[in-house]
Amino acid sequence: MSPADPPRTAPVLEQRTIDVVPEGERHGTPFSQFTLWFGANMQITAVVNGALAVVFGADPLWAVVGLLVGNLLGGAVMALHSAQGPRLGLPQMISSRAQFGVLGAVLPLVLVIVMYLGFAATGTVLAGQAVDEIAHTSTRAVGIVVFAALTAVVAVLGYRWIHALGRAATVLGALGFAYLAIRLVTTVDDLGSLFGAKPFDGATFLLAISLGAGWQLTYGPYVADYSRYLPRNTSPRVTFHCTLWGSVVGSQWSMTFGAVLAALPAAAGAGFLDNQVGFLGHLGGGGAIAVLIYLVIVVGKLTVNCLNAYGGFMSILTTVSALTNERRVSQRTRTLYITAFLATSMFIALLASNDFLNNFKNFVLTLLMVFTPWSAINLVDYYLISRERVDIPALYDPDGRYGRWNAVALACYAIGVVAQIPFLAQTLYTGPVTTALGGADISWIVGLVVTAALYYALYRKRSRAPQRMVYPDGFLDTGQSLGQTDTTRPAAETGS
C-alpha cells in the first residue's frame, strides 16, 4: 500500500484531535484540498458576500473584478497556511504557539472561536431556510435545529467524512450553480447591460476587494486542519495551488453570481435581497427542481459549517489544553465539545437580526481587523524566520522552547490591530483616513504590511526555532524519538 492510500482498517470516527498526526497515519492527495475548498465555497453565503459589493454601491463589472482581486490576494495568504499542514501534521492554531507562546496563543484563539460561532450561526440561518423549504415547515426553528444536528454528526465523525462531504459538495455545487446560471441567462433579458452602467468608484471597488480578501483570510486559522493528514513528503507547492484554486474558483463563481443577482432590475430580481434562499428556488423553476436547488444549498452550507464546527472544537480544545497540558481527549469529550459549540451557534441563529446583509458585511470586515495581524505573524515566522523548522513537542510544554508568552509577537499583534483603526469603514466607526479616501476600507492591507514588517524587524534575531524539525516519539517510520530531529528534508519540499 502506498503512503498516499488510506489505512484499510481506518476507524469510522477520527481518533486524532490536537495531537500531531504520525507518518504512518497519513493519507490522501493534495487534490482533496481542491475539492474540499471548492465545495465549501460553492454555497449561498458566498453568493450573499458577492451581492454585498453591489448592494453597497459598486457597478457589477467592477464588483466582480474587485472580488477576484480580493479572492486572489486573500486566497494566497490562506493557501500558505494550508501548505504548513503536511509538514507539521498539526491543527493550525496549535502551530501558532511557536509564535505567541503556549499561553499567548490563547488570545487569538478566543477571537477565532468567536469567528467560528459567527459564521456557523449565519450559515445556519440560511441553510435552515433551505431545510424548511424542503420539509415545508412553517417554523424556522425546525430547519435550524435539523441543520445543526446534521452538522454535529459529520463533525463528530471527523476528517475523512468532512473531505467526503467536500467531494459531494463540489459535484452538486458545480451542477446546481451551472444550472442556475443557465436559467438566469435564459430568463432575464439583456444581462450584459447591467455591467458598466455605473462609473468606476474607487471606494466601492476597494470594498469589493476587502469582501473577497476577508472571505479568504478568515479560513486562515483553520485551513491547515484539513491538510495535516497528507503525507509529510507532499509538495508544499502543490498543496498551496490545490488549496488556492479550489477556494478562489469556488468563491469567485459564487460571488460573481451574487453580484449579478443583486444588480438585476426590480422585476427580475425582486425578492433576492429579502429572501436569498427562496429566490434561488424560484429561479430554478419551482417544484421538484426547486427542492434540488435547496438540497444543493444545504449540502454546500453543511460542508462549510462542518469546517466551522470542527475548527471551533479544535480551537476550544487548544485553548483548554494550554492550561491542562492535554494532547488528546476521549470520543465522548470530543462529542460534547462539538455539541456545545453547535448548540451555541444554533441559539445565536435563532436570535439573528433581520438586518442580515448589513450585519454580515460588518462581521466579515471586523474579522479582517483581528485576523490579518495573526496571519502576518504566523507566515513571516514560519517561512522567513523559522524557515519551516518547528519543535513540535515544545508546542505542548509551557516550560519548553517557546515558553508561555512571546511578548514581541503579542505586541506586534496589538500594534497591527490598532494600526488599522484609522482605516476602518464600519457602521459604528469610520476612520479619518477612510473618510479622506471617500469611504474605501484598506485596513486589512495596513494590518498585513505593518504587522509583517514590524515582527520581522523585531524578531528575526530572537527566533526560538530549532536547527531542524523536531518530532515527538513514534512520529517517523525511521523510529526517531522525542528530542531527536528530522535531519532530512523530503525531496518534494526542496526549493519550494
pTM over 0.85: yes
The whole-angstrom separation of Cα 95 and Cα 222 is 11
pLDDT score of 437 more than 80: no
Chain center to CA of 300: 14
The C-alpha cell of 107 is what?
488570545
pLDDT score of 351 more than 50: yes
| Predicted local confidence at residue 269, as pLDDT | 54
- If you average pLDDT over residues 474-479, what whole number do you get? 56
The whole-angstrom separation of Cα 30 and Cα 233 is 11
The whole-angstrom separation of Cα 420 and Cα 418 is 5
Between 123 and 261, the more confident residue is 261
Confidence of residue 10 (pLDDT cuts 50, 70, 90): low
CATH superfamily, with its number, for domain 32-464: Hydantoin permease (1.10.4160.10)
Confidence of residue 196 (pLDDT cuts 50, 70, 90): confident
Q: Where are the domains of the chain?
A: 32-464
Quick: pLDDT tens for 120-139.
888 888 888 899 889 888 77
User: What ranges in 380-461 are assigned the alpha helix state H?
Assistant: 407-419, 432-436, 443-459
The whole-angstrom separation of Cα 196 and Cα 317 is 49
Angle between helices 236-263 and 31-41 (to 10 degrees): 20
CB-based contact 314:225 (threshold 8 Å): yes
| Predicted local confidence at residue 393, as pLDDT | 92
The whole-angstrom separation of Cα 90 and Cα 226 is 10
| Predicted local confidence at residue 15, as pLDDT | 81
| Predicted local confidence at residue 477, as pLDDT | 52
E strand map for 219-302 = none
Burial 401-433 (b: 16+ CB within 10 A, else e): ebbbbbebbbebbebbbebbeebbbeeeeebeb
Looking at residue 427, what DSSP letter applies? S
The C-alpha cell of 473 is what?
516519539
Mean pLDDT taken over the chain:
85
Confidence of residue 481 (pLDDT cuts 50, 70, 90): very low
- If you average pLDDT over residues 235-241, what whole number do you get? 96
Quick: pLDDT tens for 271-302.
677 788 888 988 888 888 999 999 999 999 99
pLDDT score of 157 more than 80: yes
The C-alpha cell of 108 is what?
487569538
The C-alpha cell of 223 is what?
485551513
CB-based contact 260:60 (threshold 8 Å): yes
Say whether 425 sits in a helix, a strand or coil.
Answer: strand
pLDDT score of 486 more than 70: no
| Predicted local confidence at residue 244, as pLDDT | 97
Nearest Cα residue to 98 out of 466, 489, 486: 466
| Predicted local confidence at residue 260, as pLDDT | 92
The whole-angstrom separation of Cα 417 and Cα 377 is 12
Provide, rounded to the nearest whole percent, the portion of the chain with pLDDT above 90. 46
The whole-angstrom separation of Cα 80 and Cα 103 is 24
pLDDT score of 495 more than 60: no
Between 80 and 218, the more confident residue is 80
Chain center to CA of 291: 28
Chain center to CA of 370: 14
The whole-angstrom separation of Cα 276 and Cα 190 is 22
The answer to which of 109-118, 329-338, 452-461, 471-480 has the lowest mean pLDDT is 471-480
| Predicted local confidence at residue 320, as pLDDT | 86
pLDDT score of 489 more than 60: no
Say whether 486 sits in a helix, a strand or coil.
Answer: strand
| Predicted local confidence at residue 358, as pLDDT | 59
CB-based contact 72:241 (threshold 8 Å): no
Identity of the amino acid at 419: A
